[in-house]
Amino acid sequence: MPYGFLDIAVTPSVRNVQAEMGVDHLWKDFKGSRASDRFTEDEAMFIAARDSFYMASVSETGWPYVQHRGGPRGFLKMIDERTLAFADYRGNLQYISAGNLAADSRACLFLVDYPHRARLKIYAHVDILSLDADPALTERITPKGYRAKLERIFRLRLDAFDWNCPQHITPRFTEPEIAEAVRPLRERVSQLEAENAALRARLGITGSGDGTS
């Protein structure tokens, strides 16, 4: 099967650079081991766990623009195996991504899992929808309890995706991830403190245990 992501990404100029670097033979007849034009359960789980991603668009003057998108974990929703959507909230009022995508619907997304050093690249066409264009979709992708002003819906039609290697991804952890990682240690410290207090009570020891009383 053709490997859709490289069919899009590898242009004549890219092939020229590959040839200059002596690696063009690696990609000349490359075919992936599975279709890259529909998400599987692996991608669904990965996408659902993300609380941010990067989205690139291109202006009418040819300049690329990369925007960071963030929200509650899972705010980027997989609607089906070939469709994603997310709520677009009010930001700095520049509307650069929205304007770019209104003129050229092509976008590229990078989703990164820093703790596990994994990244997913997605090529898609973006439809910009008003909030009342599809009320069921709007309801589905609006995070409950998230305090921000919703302005529009971005619906993404998948063209192709690819997984990147972990090279040069530095592990980083969010506050909730750190809290979860140290939770067993906190629980153990609390247990030891309770045991210590009980032992001191049985021995009739008062004070803080640091030499003061």
Instruction: Pick the closest to residue 71 from 55, 57, 58 (CA basis).
Output: 55
Residue 169 has pLDDT above 90, yes or no: no
Query: Phi then psi for 201, rounded to 5 degrees?
Result: -65, -40
- Give the tens place of pLDDT for each residue, 100-157: 999 999 999 999 999 999 999 999 999 999 999 999 999 999 988 888 889 999 999 9
Per DSSP bridges, beta strands 106-113 and 118-129 are: antiparallel
Tokens read off for 137: 């979709």
Hey, how many other C-beta atoms are within 10 angstroms of the C-beta on 4? 19
pLDDT at 34: 65
First-to-last alpha carbon distance for the chain, in angstroms, is 77
Instruction: Pick the closest to residue 91 from 67, 117, 58 (CA basis).
Output: 67
Residues contacting 152, CB < 8 A, separation 6+: 88, 98, 128, 129, 130, 131
| CB of 46 closer than 8 Å to CB of 37 | no
Task: Report the chain's mean pLDDT, rounded to a whole number.
Answer: 90
pLDDT at 206: 74
Residue 27 has pLDDT above 90, yes or no: no
Least confident of 57-66, 68-77, 102-111, 195-204: 195-204
- Helix ranges (H only) for the chain are 4-9, 12-20, 24-27, 41-48, 96-103, 135-141, 175-203
| CB of 4 closer than 8 Å to CB of 160 | yes
| CB of 152 closer than 8 Å to CB of 130 | yes
pLDDT at 1: 45
